Structure 1
Amino acid sequence: MAKKSIGPVRREFTPWEIPGHPPFIEFRDVTKKFGDFTAVRNLSLTIFEREFFALLGGSGCGKTTLMRMLAGFETPTSGQIFLDGQDLAGIPPYRRPSNMMFQSYALFPHMSVEKNIAFGLKQDRMPASEIGDRVAEMLRLTKLEEFAKRKPHQLSGGQRQRVALARSLAKRPKVLLLDEPLGALDRKLREETQFELMSLQEDLKMTFLIVTHDQEEAMTVADRIAVMDKGELVQVATPPEIYEAPNSRFVADFIGDVNLIEAAVAAKSDAGTQLRARNADLTLDTDQVTDAGVGETVWYAIRPEKVRIAQGRRTPGAVNQVDGVVWDIAYLGDVSIIHAKVGADDRDTLRATFANVSRLVENPINWDDEVVLSFDRDAGVILKG
């Protein structure tokens, strides 16, 4: 029987699944307070060598504070931080084997591209011949050879971003810290640069730690993601696991688009769980076994792309089917999103997303159409909180 995994990607690089594998970066019971405000609360986290790791969360969740403590710009109120087995307590930022790339890039406007890249190497008193070789290597890796003599104001936003990246990598730190590095780029350039970052990290075999509030960015570049909220870790897992198997309503709602159906446990067995939706005429038959008791309130999380939609009415008595009326339609070119009202309240809606695989559509679904929405028993996940 073919091996199954959550999501379409099965990565070969999975040191976190090896028992006893030593971490490269470790936060051990770390707390950071600013007066009465606790930015990071008793947090423990391990990151492995050569991992591309993402800290993901909304504004004020503590992700940047966590990175700044690793870089040495902030000091933990309590707890310890280790890098490659070394306790970083008391070590100033300039002596740590890490480098940080800031969102603002912080390039020297009066220096050329090559001089910006060489600056940190000169500060470390590297021999001039070695500096030249290292700068040439960085220019090649970041595809900036033809811009070496230009000043920052003569470059595009994407080119300035690559200069900042080259300068951060030139000193060959053990870990590169990326603080919202792509936030200033337009959408198309940001998507292109994400793949460039991944290729660069693979080529250099370095450890990258990125802080971002952009879910798509984290899902694209990272081997694993730590979702943070209010200074705490909510879930740490691979992108497919975060998306397909969230451990809470917060994660399900924060990552991507999701339907959260409030329901009561109607029946349980070794083969799965049957739920009854609270606000719609919908019986849910799932393959998931839950420890919630019969009658207990749970939420069924299902992604819109896993919901099928068709004109007509459902089969009487069918499970995982519900009648609806089209309330809104969004055409995005590659996909369409349909909101269908399925309950008495206008807020009781289900979203279905489908790919626009054909230019011409026969009998397209329209506003106010009666539709039936359906899904498979393994399409969603039961969440208790």
Structure 2
Amino acid sequence: MAKKPLGPVRRTFSPWEEPSNQPFIEFQSVTKTFGDHIAVDNLSLKIYKREFHALLGGSGCGKTTMMRMLAGFEQPTSGCILLEGEDITRVPPHKRPVNMMFQSYALFPHMSVWDNIAFGLKQEAFSKREISARVAEMLRLVKLEPFARRKPHQLSGGQRQRVALARSLAKRPKVLLLDEPLAALDKKLREETQIELMNLQEELRMTFLIVTHDQEEAMNLADRISVMDAGHILQVATPGEIYEQPSSRYVADFIGDINFFECTVKGMNASVATLDSAELGTTLQVEVGEKPQLGSSVTLAVRPEKLRISFEKPEGENQNILQGEVWDIAYMGDVSIYHIKVSQDHTIRTIVTNTTRLVERPITWEDKVWLAFDYDAGVLLTA
């Protein structure tokens, strides 16, 4: 029986859940050093055919080094890289069925859109007929047919991005590598292009690997995300699992906004742990999968949208209730972020969706309010 997914999924695609499926790309105990610096440290990862996989992390975490090793631009210090079960660790870049789209796009300014897309095909000595057919196909895919004879400087940033994408796809690689491909685009165009990328990947039925430091981009695009830090992969999971069930405090803090409560395990009753929070001066309850050790130090993590805010004390069972004072408010248009001071040294963030334009009595600064969150709203972290 398939496990119930955490959070919505953009498509029913999960080959990693079937043990008999062989990975399309596999990093086996790969280490890469530059002098005394360890960029990638004994890392293993499996990526499956037709998967849109994201390597997510801050600057210097090793994600770009991983991509460059897969492309062949860097050689692992130790370990090996497999593609369709074949060791490609020492295969030169031009002989790998892999293509890379760079952040800078690297278009030839003196060439037209048509010639930029055709360049790699000409280098590989494709016939004129095949080049014409392949370029026409790419122009259709990226919706740039009317711009075929324009030069890069005559295009918008989004159009140049699509030319670079078409050129990367023209040779029909088995894997497309995307190195921060949308970083130069404004927010609205970036969101539109993300949808185009997802649709294109599904239409071509290809394997895409994207490197990004943008958590929203990874969450929007990827079937699975590898969260990286200091050359290690901390968690590999779907966006919903990464967000709702982070494996560590680092992952929880890196993906989205979150509240942390430092606690001590006080007791257990069936699947509910009772936690003593010294910083809040109260006890909290949380549903757990694995029972924590009594007396151990743990962190309770709760996303801001899981908390409810009200003037009246909430009623009902199976919820944690706290009282505090509105310390600050950030109005974001669609939502408002409230910072509630619940103790001398602790402030909790909660999110309220602005579903109506006007409210009779809005919650505002210095108001005394109640906060509530269900027992199953939090995640207990031990790492």
TM-score range, shorter chain: over 0.9
The answer for the alignment partner of 2:194 in structure 1 is 194
Q: Are 2:373 and 1:375 equivalent residues in the alignment?
A: yes
Q: Which amino acid aligns with 2:83?
A: L
Structure 1 residue runs of 5 or longer lacking an equivalent are none
Q: Are 2:166 and 1:166 equivalent residues in the alignment?
A: yes
| SS of 1:320 mapped into structure 2 | strand
The answer for the alignment partner of 1:334 in structure 2 is 334
Partners of 2:52 and 2:203 in 1: how far apart?
12
The answer for the alignment partner of 2:363 in structure 1 is 365
Q: Which amino acid aligns with 1:212?
A: T
Q: Which amino acid aligns with 1:274?
A: T
Q: Cα gap change, 1:110/1:280 in structure 2, threshold over 3 Å: closer, same or farther?
A: same
Q: Are 2:263 and 2:277, in contact at CA under 8 Å, matched by a contact in 1?
A: yes
Q: Are 1:270 and 1:289, in contact at CA under 8 Å, matched by a contact in 2?
A: no
| SS of 1:378 mapped into structure 2 | helix
Partners of 1:266 and 1:9 in 2: how far apart?
36
Encode CA deviations 1:325-349: one digit per residue, 9 max, x unaligned.
Answer: 001100100111000001112xx11
How much does 1:353 deviate?
0.5
Partners of 2:19 and 2:307 in 1: how far apart?
38
Partners of 1:60 and 1:356 in 2: how far apart?
38
Q: How many residues align?
A: 381
Encode CA deviations 1:33-81: one digit per residue, 9 max, x unaligned.
Answer: 0000000000000000000000000000000000000000000000000
How much does 1:293 deviate?
1.7
How much does 1:10 deviate?
7.1
Instruction: Identify the range of structure 1 (286-295 vs 357-366) with the bigger mean alpha-carbon deviation.
Output: 286-295
The answer for the alignment partner of 1:350 in structure 2 is 348
The answer for the alignment partner of 2:64 in structure 1 is 64
The answer for the alignment partner of 1:287 in structure 2 is 287
How much does 1:291 deviate?
3.8
Q: Are 2:30 and 2:80, in contact at CA under 8 Å, matched by a contact in 1?
A: yes
Runs of 4+ deviating beyond 2 Å: 8-11, 289-292, 312-319
The answer for the alignment partner of 2:311 in structure 1 is 311
| TM value normalised by structure 2 | 0.97
The answer for the alignment partner of 2:31 in structure 1 is 31
Partners of 1:18 and 1:25 in 2: how far apart?
16
The answer for the alignment partner of 1:302 in structure 2 is 302
Structure 2 residue runs of 5 or longer lacking an equivalent are none
Partners of 2:126 and 2:93 in 1: how far apart?
19
**Aligned residues: percent identity?**
65
Alignment of 1:192-271 (within 5 A): 192-271=192-271
How much does 1:318 deviate?
8.9
Encode CA deviations 1:287-342: one digit per residue, 9 max, x unaligned.
Answer: 21444322211111111001000124567999501001001100100111000001
Q: Which amino acid aligns with 1:233?
A: I
Partners of 2:206 and 2:83 in 1: how far apart?
13
Q: Cα gap change, 1:113/1:10 in structure 2, threshold over 3 Å: closer, same or farther?
A: closer
Q: Are 1:282 and 1:321, in contact at CA under 8 Å, matched by a contact in 2?
A: no
Over the aligned positions, Cα root-mean-square deviation in angstroms equals 1.5
Encode CA deviations 1:227-281: one digit per residue, 9 max, x unaligned.
Answer: 0000001000000000000010000000000001111111113322111222113
Q: Cα gap change, 1:314/1:281 in structure 2, threshold over 3 Å: closer, same or farther?
A: farther
Partners of 2:366 and 2:381 in 1: how far apart?
31
| TM value normalised by structure 1 | 0.96
Q: Which amino acid aligns with 2:357?
A: R
| SS of 1:363 mapped into structure 2 | coil
